[in-house]
């Protein structure tokens, strides 16, 4: 009875129960790194920062209409922040596309390790080398 009252109070009071963060897969890290490499290639072929990031922001808004489990990569705010931050770096601190790709992949793999309590994953070590 007490548990039912707590749930009712939470719902009526607008208390949101914390959601768990989306755990990135190695496939998502690899696909995200490809996206960042392609952002750098777009920059190299003349796309402006404003055009690229503007389109990216519009796409991110549009995909929020879909449930998180149906989205590629950007399933929560942390995913969006990671991807957008690296896309901004492509234009703010230009490097070779492969350098941006490897920087993103390293950060994504590090985030995966943090999500699993710091435990290294075999597939991460093999694919990042």
Mean pLDDT by 10 residues, the chain (129 residues): 39 39 88 97 98 96 88 85 97 98 96 76 48
Contact 32, 108 (CB under 8 A): yes
| Residue whose structure tokens are 């960042």 | 36
Supply the pLDDT for residue 71: 80
Q: Residue 25 belongs to what H/E stretch?
A: none
Contact 89, 100 (CB under 8 A): yes
| pTM of the model as a whole | 0.75
Contact 96, 40 (CB under 8 A): yes
Supply the pLDDT for residue 98: 98
Supply the pLDDT for residue 15: 35
Q: Where are the domains of the chain?
A: 30-128
Supply the pLDDT for residue 72: 75
C-alpha separations of 114 from 8, 14, 30, 52 in Å: 34, 30, 17, 30
Supply the pLDDT for residue 10: 34
């Amino acid at each position: 009875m007490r548990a039912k009252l707590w749930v009712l109070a939470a719902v009526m009071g607008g208390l949101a129960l914390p959601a768990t963060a989306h755990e990135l897969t190695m496939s998502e890290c690899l696909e995200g790194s490809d996206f960042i490499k392609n952002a750098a290639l777009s920059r190299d072929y003349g796309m402006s920062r404003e055009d690229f990031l503007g389109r990216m922001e519009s796409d991110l808004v549009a995909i929020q209409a879909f449930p998180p489990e149906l989205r590629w990569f950007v399933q929560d705010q942390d995913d969006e922040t990671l991807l957008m931050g690296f896309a901004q770096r492509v234009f703010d601190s230009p490097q070779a596309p492969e350098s941006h790709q490897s920087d993103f992949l390293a950060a994504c793999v590090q985030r995966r390790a943090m999500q699993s309590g710091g435990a290294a994953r075999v597939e991460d070590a093999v694919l990042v080398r």
